[in-house]
Amino acid sequence: MSTTDVLLCEDRDSVRVLTLNRPETLNCFNDDLYDAVTQALQEAATRKDVAVVIITGQGRAFSAGQDLAELEKPRKHNDGLRHGFDPFIETVEAFPKPLIAAVNGIGVGIGLTLLPHCDLVLMAEDARLRAPFVSLGVTAEAGSTHLLPAAIGWAETAHLLYTASWMDAEKAVDCGLVWRKVASGKLLDEARAIADDIAQMPIPSLVATKKLLLNARLSQVRDARAREIPTFATLARGPANMEAINAFKEKRKPDFKKLRETKV
């Protein structure tokens, strides 16, 4: 097992298990975690002895999304390399080998929008998912405005995004966002068993098949992200977003109604 401060990486029998390891933040993504996962996936993509990758979380969360504390004070990198969300999602959306998510606890924000990029999603029966973007005064990301309607339909996507409500494992399976729900104590064992079955197959055939599957959607996902990015940027730091951030800091419910213009 190789380990960084924020990510555990274990290779066994052609299966790589990546465990998000910031349990004190509910595995929120900061640049360090984005970069660690990106590097581990890019390495797995080129390794001839890795057939399948599993992503899961340490502790009681899969991932609670973006680390808002880091957004407050964005890190400055002086190495000339790209960091953070953009190279991460570009790597995930085009990952050339089977990718399995084992959702062990809450999945919020990128902890949800990561899932439709995965080939198979298993979810602990007591885990929950949430897309909080509108409630934060911003909008969806990670190509989810294409992937979610394709996976679960327009109405389910609209309800999930417009209301920012929680989705339990049973609902997630019923609507098609999650492939299978599993008893919490058996989640990783089940994911490993499925990964082990896949890993028995010839890796070139797996890669060729994944490429064909991706070719059917990759351009649409990238087009969706190209629309999402400027829209998100326009809303970020806007009145609704700032109200949501201030409400979070003040431990109160945001009041978006006060932001609406009163017409006489």
- DSSP code, position 118: S
Tokens linked to 118: 């995965």
Q: Which residue has the higher pLDDT, 146 or 262?
A: 146
pLDDT value at position 2? 58
Specify whether the CB–CB gap between 16 and 9 falls below 8 A: yes
- How many CB atoms sit inside 10 A of residue 125's CB? 14
pLDDT value at position 81? 72
**Residues in a beta bridge with 101:** 55, 121
pLDDT digits (tens, 9 = 90+) for 212-259: 999 989 999 999 999 999 999 999 989 999 999 899 889 999 999 888
* Separation of alpha carbons 239 and 215, rounded Å: 39
In this predicted structure, the answer to whether residue 46 has a pLDDT above a threshold of 90 is: yes
Domain 2-184 belongs in CATH node 3.90.226.10: yes
pLDDT value at position 70? 74
